Amino acid sequence: MKISILGCGGGGSHIAYQLAQLGVGEIHLVDDDIVEEGNINRQSIFNMNDIGKHKVQCVSQFISKRQPSCGITTSSKRLCTVNTVQNEIDGSDWVICCIDEPPYIAQRLVNRASHLLEIPSVYCFSQRSAGKVLFCDPSSEDTGCIDCLLVDQDCEHFQKLVGRFTNNEYNLITANILPNILMLTSWVVKHWLDYISGRNRSVTNKLLRFNFDRFVEEEFQIFKKEEDCPTCGSKENRSKLWEIIKIE
Ligand SMILES: [Zn+2]
């Protein structure tokens, strides 16, 4: 199996390591970021000698020392368009999106590219008090995608959210501690394993939330496949929302 992991911060790096330990044969890592001193407290794959190096390179070296049979390829491309994402994920069996780039732009790009190439995808979100996960599987007819989840969102709420991020008021929203990141990534990988092995496939059409303080999983938002979804639907949707979180 080949898995593309987009984003190699705390989420992506620990997920990549766990997948390699589970025996995944090929992993493609994509991230344009370099390791900074401030990452090391919560991104435990990296050490002080990695500062200034590309994250994808460091994760690749870390895994190769432990699982030399896992074939790892890397890319430090910035994922700004659907086409760039398509080029990176083409040929993958799964895509795991761990890009913490609010609000939903990166996820929309990955969602669109995965839909066009019919590759199942997983989206991880990390916040201070909770983590979230969402599974999309284009091979299953009734399964909604990231844009289906967004169809029902309130435009004004989104406009405010985008405004706050632009003004940097939400700067620390993704700041987290290692115990929470390890819980989040283990929770995501275990859900993925249960899905591919058929033990539990009830994770689609849901935004699941793991509460780090109460150690419980909640169904944060239930949604369905929308006919007017701009990615997987057949009808047009002219909401202003798609201008606010525009992708190309
Ligand atoms: Zn959709």
β-sheet with 2-6: strand ranges across: 71-75, 26-30, 2-6, 94-97, 121-126, 130-136, 206-211, 216-222
108 has pLDDT over 80: yes
Ligand 1 center to 104 CA (angstroms): 14
Spatial separation of the C-alpha atoms in residues 86 and 65, rounded to whole Å: 29
pTM: 0.94
pLDDT band at 174 (very low <50, low <70, confident <90, very high): low
Ligand 1 center to 95 CA (angstroms): 16
pLDDT band at 140 (very low <50, low <70, confident <90, very high): confident
Question: Rounded to 5, what percent of the chain is helix, strand, coil?
Answer: 40, 20, 45
Ligand 1 center to 206 CA (angstroms): 13
Lowest mean pLDDT among 96-105, 186-195, 230-239: 96-105
Q: The tokens 């992993």 sit on which residue?
A: 27
Ligand 1 center to 204 CA (angstroms): 12
Ligand 1 center to 244 CA (angstroms): 17
pLDDT band at 97 (very low <50, low <70, confident <90, very high): very high
The confidence score (pLDDT) of residue 226 equals 95
The confidence score (pLDDT) of residue 170 equals 57
221 has pLDDT over 70: yes
123 has pLDDT over 90: yes
Token readout for 144 is 């909604």
39 has pLDDT over 60: yes
> Do the Cβ atoms of 31 and 56 come closer than 8 Å?
yes
Ligand 1 center to 49 CA (angstroms): 43
- pLDDT tens-digit map of 59-77: 999 999 999 999 999 999 9
Ligand 1 center to 90 CA (angstroms): 20
Spatial separation of the C-alpha atoms in residues 59 and 169, rounded to whole Å: 31
The confidence score (pLDDT) of residue 78 equals 94
Ligand 1 center to 228 CA (angstroms): 8
169 has pLDDT over 80: no
Residue-averaged pLDDT of the chain: 93
